[in-house]
Amino acid sequence: MSTPLYNEHPTMFADEPGKFILACLLIPFVVGIVWLLVWYIVNRSTLVTVDDERVTLRRGVFNKESIEVEMSSIRTVRVDQTFVDRIFNCGILKVYTSGDAPDIDQGGLPDPDTLRTALRNARGSNA
């Protein structure tokens, strides 16, 4: 197995600051604590890894899902950032192989410039 070029969990606050603030405001009503705890567990159980051979998305707490896309089969890679994402330095990864729908679509990933560079370097080494 090769060394990961990018290995990150999605961020909570940076990905959806409005949702985070609302959850914090609901803490006195206990609903906010449960909401934040569930959201934290879901984010910590989601992992995006880029290495020289593949892009891997693993997620799930009880039911695990693992999506692996080989670098040689990647047609298009998009790393999108909204205005809020740019402020908090996170982004959305979309990996396309064939067809119109992305095979991997994950938001809230920290440091999208490092992610973009890792993908570019990995795809270049497999060309």
Domain boundaries, the chain: 6-125
Structure tokens belonging to residue 26: 């609901």
Q: Is the pTM of this model over 0.85?
A: yes
CATH topology of domain 6-125: PH-domain like (2.30.29)
Amino acid at 25: L
In whole angstroms, what is the distance from residue 84 CA to residue 90 CA?
A: 9
pLDDT of 7 reads 94
pLDDT tens digits, 86-113: 999 999 999 999 888 999 999 999 999 9
Tally of CB atoms within 10 A around 89: 14
Output the 3-class SS for the chain. CCCCCEEECCCCCCCCHHHHHHHHHCHHHCHHHHHHHHHHHHHHCCEEEECCCEEEEEECCCCCEEEEEEHHHCCEEEEECCHHHHHHCEEEEEEECCCCCCCEEEEEEECHHHHHHHHHHHHHHCC
**Does residue 20 contact residue 12 with C-beta atoms inside 8 Å?**
yes
pLDDT of 126 reads 67
Beta bridge partners of 90: 110
pLDDT more than 70, % of the chain: 98
In the predicted model, what is the mean pLDDT of the chain?
91
pLDDT of 114 reads 93
In whole angstroms, what is the distance from residue 105 CA to residue 92 CA?
A: 7
